[in-house]
Chain A
Amino acid sequence: MNVQRIKATHLLLVGLLAMVPALADANTLDRVRTSNTFTLGYLPDLAPFSVQAGDKASGYAIELCQKIADSVKVELGLPDLQVRYQPVSLDDAMTAVSTGKIDILCTPSPPTLARRKQVSYSVPIYTAGLSVVVRQEAPEALINVLNGKVARTGPTWRATVNHGLSDQTYATTAGGITETWIRQQMRLLGVVANLVTVKNTEAGVNLVAEGKADAFFAERIMLSNLLATHPSAAKLVLLDRVFEYSPTAMALDRDDENFRLLVDTALSEMYRSGEIEQACNTYLGGISDMAKKLFKVYAVP
């Protein structure tokens, strides 16, 4: 009896789930044509990538998305296509893409396997780098460790003063690969530290500024962008070193190769024409040689 009931519920669930892709409208371009609107999703507080500006948005990723919208207009032959800006929160950004609430998530995110179960991705538009902020007066030993050098060279003997490196507090944003990475590094560099997590970049920078943490690890451009306006910026330093790189891209519908091809074509052309480099100069304060080399890798020929 019970078994049958469970089976029935299962069937119902399966049926409902089967309907989800139908609701999502398998074809992004058809949906855009029918509604005559192209909806750009973005995270509203991720400067300099995407920031809310009234009912519009601006930033590096938004500029790239606008160019994609232009390509969509040409492709569909709809010069009067409406472009709508839809802010989403980090938590439901991926659902918004998979349900078709937004047509594309402009704000770049790392295409992890877990996310790929839900959404698909464009070619990378930005190479994120993990960097660290410390206070100006941080001990040299800490700076050495963070720069990948051994904390201190020279002999370790009874007279070695080691208060410089014990009992540090490191901070990072909750979740993600950074946390495991830091734990691994601490061991190899001989550091004794306590790792705390914070909910966003600003909270982490504040912890360091207040002296409650000694180092805060986060995405490099976001840190430098935040420091540009932070009240305690003079007390803080962003180290030059980038610990890890990770390509980030725009999320889009998982079952729509046509739309994905259109987006990748538009982005690849922008890579080749130098428009992306220009956008980098405008929003991200220029690009490194390494990033320039990666452009060639990212652009699909």
Chain B
Amino acid sequence: MADSSKKMSLMGLTTLVTVNMMGSGIILLPTSMAQLGAISLLSWLVTAVGSMAIAYCFSQCGIYCPRSGGLSAYTEEAHAKSGFFLCSYLYFLSLGIANVAVAISAVGYMTAFVPWLGSGAIPLFIGTVGLLWLTTVANFGGPSITGRIGTITVWGVIIPVAGLSIIGWYWFKTDVLIAAWNPNNLPISEAISKAIPLTLWAFLGMESAAQASDAVEDPKRNVPLACLFGTLGAAVVYILSTTVIQGMIPNAELANSSAPFALVYAHMFNPTVGNIVMALAVMACVGSLLGWQFTLAQTAKMTADQGMFPKFFSRVSTRDAPIIGMLVCGVLQTLMALSTISPNASEQFGKLVSLAAVTNLIPYVTAATGLLVMMYKARVSKGIYTRNTSLLLIAVAYSLYALYACGKDAVFGGLIVLAFGYLLYGFVSIRFVDTPPAAQSSAGSPQL
């Protein structure tokens, strides 16, 4: 056991989960919600409840299955070794791709401060690669350093977004919100069905606590709590901030803003404050990238520890950081970032990003269903079994709906990638055969 001072605390892990989840998605969320109208706020009822059910299942899994491995370990309970491998493989792919996309978005937001970054394809590429490596190298210091940097960058979310959820109410006007309710005069059912996709995937990332279980103090207690608190915190901040902002800025203005949080702070104070807030939001975005790069390396390390990913992923430095694995991930991501150079390749990369959401969601289903076996093994009481199973059904139903809503193209790509994973596992599985078959075959197999 590594010395616990190098590990992450509950607080660090909870912030990691919240910041990870919001990522770059929160920056434009108020704009897309305003385009539909304040009626879109109703979609939180569905998505926040569904996501809390998933977070609850993961935290229960964390209690019954304290071994390392995160989602993959939960999956193995019900779906055996191949489940472990496929879960890791899909999740690793998802993060590898998504992190490049987060970096591209972050560079996009930085152009407001460094116009050079927006002056062409090459500056965008350089900015993206620079950011990917910056966040990779920052992780070399090990989990405790990552956690500590996270507690700084989290202010980028706390001040502009969470702060708005509190102080914004002073400027809140009910009539502005009412006027913004349904500006396109859509029928209620249509408005809600259009709104759900805006927030449906906003909670992806709640599992990052489980993925970091190797690097956390007292994981049996902290991982389940961080998963729940992190998701709850994100839900509260999401709901409050998107509600208050629609009651402060007239709908037409908000719906056409490319930096809604900066706009609202400029409205409350002055444009300089607006710019500072935008800078903070970008900092939070970079902070989330740092957290995700960490999670990516941890996922690879845990899988390599089980002998399913190449060994070099599991080699850690004295500070508990899997540096070689991080370098390999960085090189792979640099190759993906090349797609920013041509518009056509960016288009293809956009498809990969959609596919990455699918490969993030499949592990949710496999991991959550592992809970059924865990409860059976732990001989839980009937009451707990019923309660957990009903929440598990909600969680799986939500995950399946989110998968369905990813659309044909993304699910199609995800299926191909999944099927390919079985081929890879074929090679890996040889390592888990108990008795080597070589002895018998040389003894007397019939000659053909």
Contact = CB atoms under 8 A, between A and B. Distances in A.
B201 A167 contact: no
10 contacts: A154-B407, A155-B200, A155-B407, A156-B25, A156-B197, A158-B102, A159-B98, A164-B350, A166-B28, A192-B255
A44 to B, nearest CB: 38
Contacts of A162: 28, 105, 108
B175 interface: no
A140 interface: yes
A154 B205 contact: no
A137 interface: yes
A159 B102 contact: yes
A155 B354 contact: yes
Contacts, number: 107
* Chain A interface, >50% SS class: loop
Contacts of B204: 157-158
Contacts of A154: 350-351, 353-354, 357, 406-407, 409-410
Contacts of B351: 154
Nearest to A189: B35
A209 B354 CA distance: 32
Contacts of B255: 187, 192
B108 A163 contact: yes
A118 B187 CA distance: 40
Interface string A140-162: 10000000000011111111111
Contact of B353 (A159, A167, A186, A190): A159
Given A155-B406, A187-B184, A160 B258 contact: no
Interface string B68-104: 0000000000000000000000000000011101101
Interface stretch (B16-24, B163-171, B365-373, B424-432): B16-24
Contacts of A164: 346, 350
A192 B25 contact: no
Contacts of A161: 101, 104-105, 108, 346, 349-350, 353
Contacts of B343: 137, 139-140
Contact of B25 (A152, A153, A158, A193): A158
A14 to B, nearest CB: 43
Contacts of A137: 343
A136 B21 CA distance: 37
* Chain B interface, >50% SS class: helix
Contacts of B256: 186, 192-194
A155 B357 contact: yes
Interface in B391-425: 402, 405-407, 409-410
Given A137-B343, A159-B356, A167-B258, 16 more contacts: A153-B354, A154-B351, A154-B354, A155-B197, A155-B357, A155-B358, A157-B201, A157-B357, A158-B22, A158-B98, A158-B204, A159-B24, A159-B357, A161-B349, A163-B108, A192-B257
A192 B104 CA distance: 19
Contacts of A193: 256
A153 B350 CA distance: 10
Nearest to B410: A154
A140 B345 CA distance: 11
Interface string A190-219: 101110000000000000000000000000
Nearest to B203: A157
Contacts of A188: 35, 184
In the A-B complex, list the 4 residue pairs whose CB atoms are closest, starting with the nearest: A154-B354, A158-B23, A159-B98, A157-B201
A64 B199 CA distance: 57
A186 B108 CA distance: 21
Contacts of A159: 23-24, 97-99, 101-102, 105, 353, 356-357
Contacts of A187: 35, 183-184, 255
B202 interface: yes
A163 B105 contact: yes
